[in-house]
Amino acid sequence: MNKAFNLENIRKDFPILDQEINGSPLAYFDNAASTQKPKAVIDAIKNYYEQDHSNVHRGVHTLSVRATELYEESRTKIAKFINANTSNEVVFTRGTTESINVLASTLSGLIKQGDEILISTMEHHSNIVPWQELCIRTGAILKIIPINKLGELQLDSLEKLLGKKTKIISVTHISNTLGTINPIKKIIELAHLYNAYVVIDGAQAIAHTPIDVQDLDCDFYTFSGHKLYGPTGIGVLYGKENLLNKLPPYQFGGEMILKVTFENTSYNSLPYKFEAGTPNIAGSIGLAAAIDYLNSLPLNLCHQYEMEIHDYALDQLKSFSNIRLIGESHKKSPIISFIANDIHPHDVGTILNQKGVAVRTGHHCTMPLMEFFNISGTIRASFSFYNTKNEVKQLIGGLGIAFKMLS
């Protein structure tokens, strides 16, 4: 039986949405920064701390056993959600940023002077700086895949950049600023012709499109729990098992060891050799609860509805003559970035907040992208399946007031 999409019921699942900001209903359009949490996630974390909390692994008492079971069940659910071949390929981190940093550190032994690492113009700082630092340490060369004015990667330029010296390509699946959906499967195919490793920043994609890491054939895929309706402070590094086995540990301490003597140390098997210290147990349980919640929904209809809201908002925004859209890719996710002539985005965001509308303003941790478009920042509205057309009308009304006040 097909599941039906019921917006009213979905909104009831998110307690935070039922409130007023400055006397107006909250219209939350900052989902690209962080999604809100359903009650099922909040309850799972609460129940863990009230009933099952203990440190995981090795404990023989009941609480430790229960906590360990919940923690490892979370890993299994996540592996299934992204279609990993085995749960050993799922490493828990603090988020996408740490996942990419883990790779930039552990892949360094495979990089030598003169090797090349490719990233794109639209990358988040978290997918720029770690690779810059790796190049500084090793003498490798960072090369940039260009984009066009629509905010789309230029694949012909990528093909020209690829060569025998290409060792790593790290690109975002979906741009957090532009909403551009990149052709990562094609990029992966091209990279593998040169035996380059491919790292995918999936922070934005994980909540808006099905992810099948085996079908993509990516070497590594990274994402954050808090952008997938889960808690903050928990993230995932997926890697092919044979590749993760080749990489050295990132941190050292408890849990990631097999045996320690004063003479030498041997390390644990996957995925534990990358998880030093007490993990974010509650975070992993909360993320698993978010996945359970999402699996209870008709996700294909949720994703379809998000784009309906996006398209409706885009159509409404076109009623303003002073707006310039930033990012008009033919393949988009539910993100709209725009500027309004010479009005500063922060000023617009401040007035919108007075009307209960939450948007993100600034450079969105993509300063090189802002430089490409010759702007300092944008106003970004990003949508989820719990947003409504009435909230979009609230946004449009707030923009009208803001433009009148600031022009």
User: Which residues does 117 contact at the CB level (< 8 Å), separation at least 6?
Assistant: 111, 131, 134, 135, 140, 141, 142, 143, 166, 167, 168, 169, 170
Specify the number of domains making up the chain. Answer: 2
Kindly state whether residue 38 falls inside one of the protein's structural domains.
Answer: no
Kindly state whether residue 1 falls inside one of the protein's structural domains.
Answer: no
Host H or E run for residue 305? helix 299-317
Kindly state whether residue 37 falls inside one of the protein's structural domains.
Answer: no
Q: What per-residue confidence (pLDDT) applies to 365?
A: 98
Q: What per-residue confidence (pLDDT) applies to 2?
A: 60
Q: Does residue 332 share a domain with residue 384?
A: yes
Q: Does residue 199 share a domain with residue 270?
A: yes
Task: Tell me which amino acid residue 319 is.
Answer: S
Q: Does residue 214 share a domain with residue 269?
A: yes
Q: Does residue 240 share a domain with residue 158?
A: yes
Last residue of a domain, one of 231, 261, 295: 295
Segment 167-176 mean pLDDT = 98
- pLDDT by residue (tens digit) across 108-157? 999 999 999 999 999 999 999 999 999 999 999 999 999 999 999 999 99
In DSSP terms, which residues pair with 266 in a beta bridge? Answer: 259
Q: What per-residue confidence (pLDDT) applies to 322?
A: 96
Decide if pLDDT at 226 tops 90.
yes
The boundaries of the domain holding residue 330 are 7-30+298-406
- What six digits make up the tokens of 170? 């790290």
Write down the mean pLDDT value for the chain.
96
Kindly state whether residue 193 falls inside one of the protein's structural domains.
Answer: yes
Kindly state whether residue 382 falls inside one of the protein's structural domains.
Answer: yes
365 is catalytic: yes
Q: Does residue 82 share a domain with residue 187?
A: yes
Last residue of a domain, one of 295, 314, 337: 295
Q: Does residue 135 share a domain with residue 19?
A: no
- pLDDT by residue (tens digit) across 67-90? 999 999 999 999 999 999 999 999
Instruction: Give Cα separations from 171 to 15, 83, 296, 318, 364 (angstroms).
Output: 35, 20, 30, 31, 16
Q: Does residue 362 share a domain with residue 280?
A: no
Whether the upstream peptide bond of residue 271 has omega within 30° of 0, thus cis, is yes
Kindly state whether residue 387 falls inside one of the protein's structural domains.
Answer: yes
- pLDDT by residue (tens digit) across 237-253? 999 999 999 999 989 98
Q: Does residue 327 share a domain with residue 282?
A: no
Residue closest to 63 by CA, chosen among 72, 49, 52: 52
- pLDDT by residue (tens digit) across 206-223? 999 999 999 999 999 999
Kindly state whether residue 99 falls inside one of the protein's structural domains.
Answer: yes
Q: Does residue 291 share a domain with residue 304?
A: no
Task: Output 18-21 pairs: Cβ under 8 A, ≥24 positions apart.
Answer: 20/356, 21/353, 21/356, 21/358
Whether the upstream peptide bond of residue 345 has omega within 30° of 0, thus cis, is no
Q: What is the CATH number of the domain that holds 229?
A: 3.40.640.10
Reported in sequence order, the residue ranges of 111-178 that DSSP labels E, i.e. its strands, are 116-120, 141-145, 166-172
Decide if pLDDT at 1 tops 60.
no
Last residue of a domain, one of 272, 295, 318: 295
In DSSP terms, which residues pair with 153 in a beta bridge? Answer: 147
Q: Does residue 124 share a domain with residue 264?
A: yes
Kindly state whether residue 35 falls inside one of the protein's structural domains.
Answer: no
Q: What is the CATH number of the domain that holds 336?
A: 3.90.1150.10
Q: Does residue 329 share a domain with residue 272?
A: no
Q: Does residue 131 share a domain with residue 79?
A: yes
CA distance 269 to 200: 24
